[in-house]
Amino acid sequence: MVVVKDYSQVMPFRHEDGARLSEGVTYDIRNDRLLWVDIYNSEIHAIDNVSRDGREGRHMKIKIKGSQGRDSVGVVFLTTDPQIVLFGGKDGIGRWVVGTYEWDYVVRYDACPELACDPERLKRLRPNDGNTTRDGKYILIGLMNDFNYDVKEVDGCIVRISIVNGTVDMIWDQIAIANAVHWDRDENYVFITDSLQHTIWRCPWDRKTDSLDKHKRQEWIDFKSHNKGFDSPEPDGSDMDIKHNLLYVSVWSTHRVQVYDITKENKLVQEIILPVTTPRGSCCCLAGSDLYVTTANNEISDEPVQKGQGGSLFRLLCVADNEPTSSKAYLQIK
């Protein structure tokens, strides 16, 4: 039986003027900090003491500008230093000292041989979602075609990045929109979100080498089968409740978050309903018992922002019965 929780009347927790594509929401328990990005506007946002002070907590923001005039910021990564976060930018992995306007690139995507040999392909790509391996050694990040290019499977990919060694390895080529990446509690499998295929793949994971076996992948979650009333229910950003092996997935265009038991194939256990005025749920993360959800505006272009709640950040209270933990592992940076 699927449990339905109705939050359709909830009001936005925060809405930034001009918000386009809010994404990548991440929680850091060390400073009770919530982070998220606006991919299209190339911004990183942070609120400290969010559980205690809510929307009144200290808000910080930085706008990233890359080599091509405008940048994209797809995802943030926590590090072993609570005041430093890394992010997926247009040209590579950047570093931001939170609360300042200081940032720089620490590893560039052209360190990957397969991308360096095709500069035009590299130019077309932008960062999307990703995650840090549990041991803190690597970033796995998906790259996809930027907003001014048609989405092509031949361009998109997933790369594995070591900040300490400065290496970028191709681990999954030709995936149109590679999205969220997660591991089960025992790290036997990695779960790869393939948005345009409406699928999450399960792949065997080798903890010793931090590598996946793409050739033994299984189609583990089929989102069309659980969203038959929607034309294109694309799985977007998500968060893993590691203790209970539950995956919380924002499903684009459906105004809902779905929760799956990842120990069983295609096992939907819960649906969380968002306001119908914000169908483009883009990402979510747990902060203790609460769930934060980012959304996108209906207009993701340079045209005027459409009125409404699209682009807002929502806080859904008492969704889970969890103790607070950070939503990503801490990345080793030296």
**Would you please indicate which residues are annotated as catalytic (active-site) residues?**
236
Q: Is 165 annotated as a binding residue?
A: no
- Residue 170, token pair as written in the block: 């191709």
Q: How would you classify the pairing of strands 256-261 and 268-273? A: antiparallel
Contacts of 71 (CB under 8 A, 6+ apart): 42, 64, 65, 89, 90, 91
Q: Is 234 annotated as a binding residue?
A: no
Q: Is 261 annotated as a binding residue?
A: no
Q: Which residue has the tokens 């992948």?
A: 217
Q: Is 236 annotated as a binding residue?
A: yes
Q: Is 23 annotated as a binding residue?
A: yes
Element spanning 122, H or E: helix 119-124
Q: Detail the DSSP E strand segments found in 277-326.
A: 281-287, 290-295, 313-316
End-to-end distance of the chain based on CA atoms, in angstroms?
A: 47
Mind giving me the DSSP string for 124-151? HEEEEEEEE-TTSS-EEEEEEE-TTS--
- Residue 97, token pair as written in the block: 């000292």
Rg (CA), the chain: 18
Mind giving me the DSSP string for 221-277? EETGGG-TTSS--EEEEEEEETTTTEEEEEEETTTEEEEEETTSTT-EEEEEEPPTT
User: Is residue 111 helix, strand or coil?
Assistant: helix
Angstrom distances, CA of residue 212 to CA of 135, 196, 251: 15, 21, 25
Binding residues: 23, 126, 128, 179, 236
Binding residues for a divalent metal cation: 23, 179, 236
